[in-house]
Structure 1
């Protein structure tokens, strides 16, 4: 299950996008995913600002921004920037990719994208871990870093994923009335076989 797309009359940045093969290939890079995540979480930015945030050089940031723009995932922010400083913003709220729905010709691109998503999530979690000792008490107490191991079949994981997405959708619908002090919160949901417990399909990897 994936969240329903936002109505088409909503402004840019509030709609979701279902990834096709071309965009899956654009996003099959963990650093590029984290560049896009920054724009979605914090709003418009420049290559220089993104480079400082991610610890990369501005040339690398510019390259990944151009690739994202070529894929129709970001656009230049109207009315901001100069010839030397370009501001960019995300076109969509989030990307949607459901491996269960992907056609056969997208299988390889989908796996490469999923691989990049996992690597990008690791990097964002590492940065979050660096801030744990400095978090205000209310955010330290509200945050959670949990890991659960369960014995499940694939259909059980699919059902649990659908239930989790329903909860996320309900909270997302209430974002417009968020109270004072609300900030972007990253909720990482991962469910995968414990490494070494499943016979790998090497021929399809």
Structure 2
């Protein structure tokens, strides 16, 4: 079995709050998918941000070790790259300031998931029948202990590993494939809003 991809682990509340910005999460995502990008190219791919905005957000991400200069270029034309394939954080820190920052970040991540699912629904009719059939969402109710839930999540992670490893770093994805985000939510349902 190959080594898991490197991850950046955020513990500083300032870093957690900085990463919680939707544009910054989108930029890190672009760099992870497309490899090194300039602020100009990132702005083109996002379609919602100016070059100046992307440049600013890339510099902020660099302060917290999420991106770095890839070498070459100057100013807004210098390429940036993600420092790791994944970002992680403690989901239940004891420190109150860190816990509040984690809550902010997790809400931002959830908002991003919702936005991508909503965008899929809005454009679903434009997709081929094969993709309309393959994509979707649903849920399964299981009764598990906390330890069993951790085990289940680890097993799901292991199932997806071969698909994550199909694309070498900076290489082209296999022909006929598209990026698909598998969103995993494992939350108790006996908690009332």
TM range (shorter): 0.7 to 0.9
Q: Can you give the 5+ residue segments of structure 1 that lack an aligned partner in the other structure?
A: 7-13, 201-205
Query: More deviation in 161-170 or 34-43?
Result: 161-170
d(CA) in 1 for partners of 2:123, 2:36 = 23
Q: Give the structure, 1 or 2, with the largest relative contact order (CA under 8 Å, sep 6 or more).
A: 1
1:64 and 2:57 aligned: yes
Q: Can you give the 5+ residue segments of structure 2 that lack an aligned partner in the other structure?
A: none
Per-residue CA deviation, residues 14-46 of structure 1 (Å, 9 max, x unaligned), is 522222224322212223212211111122223
1:111-190 to 2 correspondence within 5 Å? Answer: 111-142=103-134, 144-148=135-139, 150=141, 152=143, 155=146, 157-176=149-168, 179-190=174-185
Per-residue CA deviation, residues 123-153 of structure 1 (Å, 9 max, x unaligned), is 23333334423334444443x2112152646
**Which residue does 1:97 correspond to in 2?**
89
Residue 88 to residue 175, structure 1, CA distance change in 2 (3 Å): closer
d(CA) in 1 for partners of 2:175, 2:191 = 46
Question: CA offset at residue 185 of structure 1?
Answer: 2.7
List 4+ stretches of structure 1 deviating above 6 A: none
SS at match of 1:186: coil
Match of 1:73 among 50, 60, 66: 66
**TM-score of the aligned structures, taking structure 2 as reference length:** 0.76
Question: CA offset at residue 95 of structure 1?
Answer: 0.8
Residue 133 to residue 49, structure 1, CA distance change in 2 (3 Å): farther
Question: CA offset at residue 82 of structure 1?
Answer: 3.4
SS at match of 1:18: strand
Per-residue CA deviation, residues 172-192 of structure 1 (Å, 9 max, x unaligned), is 34545x743334332222233
User: What count of residue pairs does the alignment treat as equivalent?
Assistant: 185
Question: CA offset at residue 98 of structure 1?
Answer: 4.2
Question: CA offset at residue 110 of structure 1?
Answer: 1.5
